[in-house]
Structure 1
Amino acid sequence: MDLPPISVLPLTVTDQMGRRVAVPFPPQRIVSLVPSQTELLFDLGLGDKVVGLTKFCIHPAEARKGATVIGGTKNFDFEKIAALKPDLIIGNKEENYQAGIEELATQYPVWLSDISTLPEALDMIRRVGFIVGAKDKAVALAAEIEACFSMLASPEATVPVAYFIWRKPYMVAATGTFINDLLHRAGFSNVFAGLTRYPEVSAEQVAAAGPQRIFLSSEPYPFGEKHIAEFQQLCPSARIEVVDGELFSWYGSRLRESAAYFTQLR
């Protein structure tokens, strides 16, 4: 016996860019353009509704088994997306590229996040939960993350740190980034807080900044133990370590693990 079609009602919502987006509710065919938001959808129980994702959407491990890879976060395969017939596309202002988003928005409902602080990440989680029909789960998840961060003890003094995301050229996370906000909450002071976003810095600038600790992020550049000596030469007195970039920059459900990780780092 054929089952009756699922009733889908129109819902107009505002994304974190202030854009009004008309979304079928509940959406049945979702394309996620952001790895952390893909993981969030699965953790909210929407894995069977995710029909498309990027090549960088590696969590959960089974995500790409049942969904189509539509390219990267900054180069979409529009034909593959069209074949999926999505009724909702979820992206991000920073991780995706404006021209691609604008083209998609002419044909599909595109909801964008814009995140540079923990409160904005929690807001995104709650909003995404609402528009995909998982409001209660999202509210509970956001509350769990907020509680974990509230238990982070404030250190007596912050530790000066430089957080590297790239080499050749050297690039760091500075003011206005989600990483910078989490560094502050974790008890570290960013020695490049006077700069904006993700600036290039010279070896001389790094040495002059005098960080006590240098964090080499595991992403987007795949820093490893083999790079420690290079940075030790830049700052002989600094403590150099490779850190889990996902726990500093993924602003979805992975944040449940971040506060405990930061406590270990301190």
Structure 2
Amino acid sequence: MKKAYFGLVFIAILFLSACSGAPESAEKETPSEAKAEKAVLTIHDMAGRTVTFDTLPKRIITLTNSDMNIVYALGGKVVGRQTQDASGVEPDEAKNATEVGNTHDLNLEKIAALAPDVIVASSEQNLKDVPALEAIGAKVILTGANSVDEIKTQTEVLGKLLSAEAKAKELNQMLTEKEEAIQTAQAGKSVRALMILGAPGSNYAALPTSLSGDTLRIAGGINVAENLKGVENFPQYAALNIEKIVAEDPEVIFLMIHGGDEKETEAAFRKEMEQNDAWNSTTAVKNGHVMVLPADLFGTNPGVRIDEALDYMTQKLNQVAK
């Protein structure tokens, strides 16, 4: 009898242990599940990365002017920004933010001193810098745009970061309407154009896959460099092949200056053209249609000011088409 009693007690203990252990196992969270549950904000950036925030970010550093002006257009502000270059600072309010270098030359000491919650950087140039930036205790969001549509995506990403999705949608709708209006007005027009990105010691032809090339397309231009091959580390731009370019005979040549002294770069390029019979044989040079585009709208991503770039490009192409 005692043996039977103790057997029943043993079985009951096993049963209770099994029942009490089941919920503990079922409720146990994996580290990723716990992190996702704790996050108040999740951002999928333009480098394909997923970034989570435990608290909403307040102190923002932007390493490009495009990200900076989009942040302000969305109602936000930055504590740190790119060191001023030829493209200037837009809007004026951002001039009070601390300069922290640029995408090629970060000042990690200044960045750390600002104690940022998030650093918005270039997907093409700063991916390698993410570990160093995260090491100072900040989250990193990577953006970038090689087309007008990608500027819209950039605006959406920053809109979510700032909890300003409605404003981002409004800005993108306005940009879409601008595109459609220009394309309607420019229908049937075609101007053969060459866009050159000029920098100290080097010149490249902008391809249709570049942001400036996309701006040219929307405004009604035909890119004479379309069939050139992009360079390995700069695929949206191609080395200048004067023979092929002359064969396409551009009606206008646009020079976009990036970095260095603008006047010095322009003078060097014009001198090269004057001394080269091939350049002098093009319709663009014969008619004096060699134009320098403003640095704050071309050569680098102008952010929300892309609407101004589209208007400017349309105006210049129409001057040539007369």
TM-score (norm 1): 0.85
C-alpha deviation, 1:244, in angstroms: 2.3
Q: Is the 8 A contact 2:127 2:142 kept in 1?
A: no
Equivalents in 2 of 1:202, 1:257: separation in Å?
Answer: 30
Matched AA of 2:156: R
Please give the alpha-carbon distance, in whole angstroms, between the structure 2 residues aligned to 1:172 and 1:53: 29
Q: How does 1:1-266 map to 2 (within 5 A)?
A: 10-47=40-77, 50-56=78-84, 58-65=89-96, 67-94=97-124, 96-106=125-135, 107-152=137-182, 153-166=185-198, 168-194=201-227, 195-196=229-230, 197-220=236-259, 222=262, 226=267, 228=270, 230-231=272-273, 234-236=279-281, 237-238=283-284, 239-248=289-298, 249-266=300-317
- CA distance in 1: counterparts of 2:266 and 2:103, whole angstroms: 27
Q: Quick check: 2:44–2:157 contact (8 Å CA) kept in 1?
A: no
Counterpart contact for 2:257–2:266, Cα < 8 Å: no
SS of match in other structure, 1:148: helix
More helix by share: 2
| 3-state SS in 2 of match to 1:55 | coil
Q: Distance in 2 between matches of 1:97 and 1:112?
A: 8
> In structure 2, what is the Cα distance between the partners aligned to 1:179 and 1:263?
12
Equivalent pairs: percent with the same residue?
28
Normalized against structure 2, the TM-score is what? 0.71
**Contact 2:208–2:217 (Cα < 8 Å) also in 1:** no
Q: CA deviation at 1:98?
A: 3.2
The question of whether the paired residues in 1 share the 8 Å contact of 2:224 and 2:250 is answered with yes
Structure 2 CA distance for aligned equivalents of residues 122 and 14 of structure 1: 14
The gaps in structure 2 that reach 5 residues or longer are 1-38, 231-235, 318-322
Instruction: Report the 3-state secondary structure (helix = DSSP H, G, I; strand = E; otherwise coil) of the residue aligned with 2:91.
Output: coil
Alpha-carbon distance in structure 1 between the residues aligned to 2:266 and 2:302: 26
Question: Does structure 1 conserve the Cα–Cα contact (< 8 Å) formed by 2:103 and 2:122?
Answer: no
SS across alignment from 2:106: coil
Partner Cα separation in structure 1 for residue 180 and residue 189 of structure 2: 18
Map of 1:5 onto structure 2: none
Instruction: After superposition, give the CA deviation of every residue in 1:91-119 in whole Å (9 maximum; x if it has no partner).
Output: 1223x333223421444211111322211
> Larger deviation: 83-92 or 163-172?
163-172
Give 1:230 deviation, angstroms.
4.4
User: Unmatched 5+ residue regions in structure 1?
Assistant: 1-8
Question: RMSD across aligned C-alpha pairs, in angstroms?
Answer: 2.5
- After superposition, the Cα gap between the structure-2 partners of 1:178 and 1:128, relative to the gap in structure 1 and judged at 3 Å, is same
Give the distance between the partners of 1:159 and 1:91, measured in 2 at CA. 35
Change (3 A) 1:134 1:19: same
CA distance in 2, matches of 1:199, 1:263: 24
CA apart distance, 1:193 = 1.5
Verify the 8 A CA contact 1:25 1:131 in the aligned structure 2: no
* Structure 1 letter corresponding to 2:301: W
Structure 1 residue 205: Cα displacement: 4.8
Would the aligned equivalents of 2:41 and 2:53 in 1 still touch at CA under 8 Å? Answer: yes
Structure 1 residue 203: Cα displacement = 4.5
* Counterpart position of 2:12: none
